[in-house]
Amino acid sequence: MSLVSLFRDELREQTAYHPKAGSYAVRLDANEAPPFWSEGAKRRFAEVAAEAALERYPDTRHAALKAAVGRRFGGAPEELSLGCGSDELIANLLLAVARGSGRSASSVVSLSPTFVMYRVSARIRGLHVVEVPLDAGWNVSMQSLERAIEYAHPAVVFVATPNNPTGTTVSEDTAAAIAETARESLVVFDEAYGMYAEQDLSRVRDGFANVLTMGTLSKIGLAGARVGFLRGRPELVAEIEKARQPYNLPSPSQAVARVALDERWDEIVATCAEVVRERERLALVLGAMGCTVTPSQANFLWVRTRRPASEVFEGLSARGVLVRSFHDRGGRLANQLRVTVGTKAENDAFLDALAAVEP
């Protein structure tokens, strides 16, 4: 007997996640914020990280950090669950709803293309995944989504807005329609890129008991701290909290994230505004170069290149610029690249390299 047969069947369809290694002068592949923290902010982070009592377990209730998250993004402590990144919140939620096995296992509905962790996290916990293709403009097709929800009776519906990798959002009306259609499911609106978008889903969250929203500090300058937050009705959050590891957030992370939110918020806001300006400039230049750019509400652009994305990707890599290509998924993704908006210098380096690769 092979010992590997002890592992879940679903793992055979997975590969471990390894972001592209190697050294690149310009990394625009992971939707992180460009480097921006002031020297003063870095000193303060070092100070509070050093003060954290490393002999002791971290605060399992995340009291101080939850209060800081609540001040900036809203939410009372009992409406919030904090995770080691929103990846952990997705995992906790799916663990908490996973029931049955094989054909009778619970299921999840999401869109395609979207953030891969919904699928990966669901599959490794034995849930079924039904993915609904976005329409030709990379927007949600309500008709298809309704049919999928009726067919699958999902435990959870995941909608990233703005969506990764397309940068598109759902309107408030569409969000409400999804929440209404899936009223017997939990509906998660993942607002990982909310700080770059003009979007406010608070009325939908307040109006529908089944709606949860998620956010993260990863895309606004703190990817290394790993802090994500989920917000919803206290009775739902209480169940998700039971599936969480008690000491999931290291104390230095909690401390650094708290002072970033409480004391250095201005630096975050200024960076987001600058990234949005650069996003619009990049989109214009790329359009003039003959690429088709989907209007984006996030800190990246979804770009259709004239040549196959695999060739453009390799050409950019050879020039020290790393972006994300989806060509291995083929079909309508074969000419699509996702390019994170960086500093002005990084963006110019990308444009120069692209002009050389796709003249």
Ligand X SMILES: *Cc1c(COP(=O)(O)O)cnc(C)c1O
- Which position among 121, 166, 181, 218 is part of the footprint of ligand X (CB under 6 A)? 218
Segment contacting ligand X by CB under 6 A, of 35-43, 94-102, 216-224, 275-283: 216-224
Segment contacting ligand X by CB under 6 A, of 215-223, 238-246, 249-257, 312-320: 215-223
CB of 30 to ligand X, least distance (A): 8
Q: Which is nearer to ligand X, 218 or 271 (CB)?
A: 218
- Which position among 190, 241, 278, 346 is part of the footprint of ligand X (CB under 6 A)? 190
Q: Which is nearer to ligand X, 85 or 154 (CB)?
A: 85
Retrieve residue 196's tokens: 């770059």
Q: Which is nearer to ligand X, 83 or 154 (CB)?
A: 83
Residues 74, 95 contacting (CB under 8 angstroms): no
Which 30-69 residues touch ligand X, going by CB under 6 A? 31
Q: Which is nearer to ligand X, 220 or 354 (CB)?
A: 220
| Residue whose beta carbon is closest to ligand X | 85
Which 69-88 residues touch ligand X, going by CB under 6 A? 85-87
Binding-site size, ligand X (CB under 6 A): 13
Which 223-252 residues touch ligand X, going by CB under 6 A? 223, 228
Q: Which is nearer to ligand X, 79 or 190 (CB)?
A: 190
Q: Which is nearer to ligand X, 264 or 324 (CB)?
A: 324
Q: Which amino acid is at 177?
A: A
115 binds ligand X (CB under 6 A): yes
Show the site string, 260-279: x = touches ligand X by CB under 6 A, - = not.
--------------------
Whose tokens are 């959002």? That residue is 169
Cα 101 to chain centroid distance, Å, stands at 28
Q: Which is nearer to ligand X, 322 or 357 (CB)?
A: 322
**CB burial class (10 A; 0-12, 13-18, 19+) of residue 39?**
exposed
CB of 300 to ligand X, least distance (A): 9
Retrieve residue 269's tokens: 């806001």
Q: Which is nearer to ligand X, 30 or 289 (CB)?
A: 30
Q: Which is nearer to ligand X, 115 or 326 (CB)?
A: 115
Q: In degrees, to the nearest 5, what angle opens at C-alpha 271 toward C-alphas 269 and 272?
A: 65
CB of 302 to ligand X, least distance (A): 12
- Which position among 106, 107, 164, 317 is part of the footprint of ligand X (CB under 6 A)? 164
- Which position among 160, 201, 204, 291 is part of the footprint of ligand X (CB under 6 A)? 160
Distance, in Å, from the CA atom of 143 to the CA atom of 149, rounded to the nearest integer, reads 10
Binding site for ligand X (CB under 6 A): 31, 85-87, 115, 160, 164, 190, 192, 216, 218, 223, 228
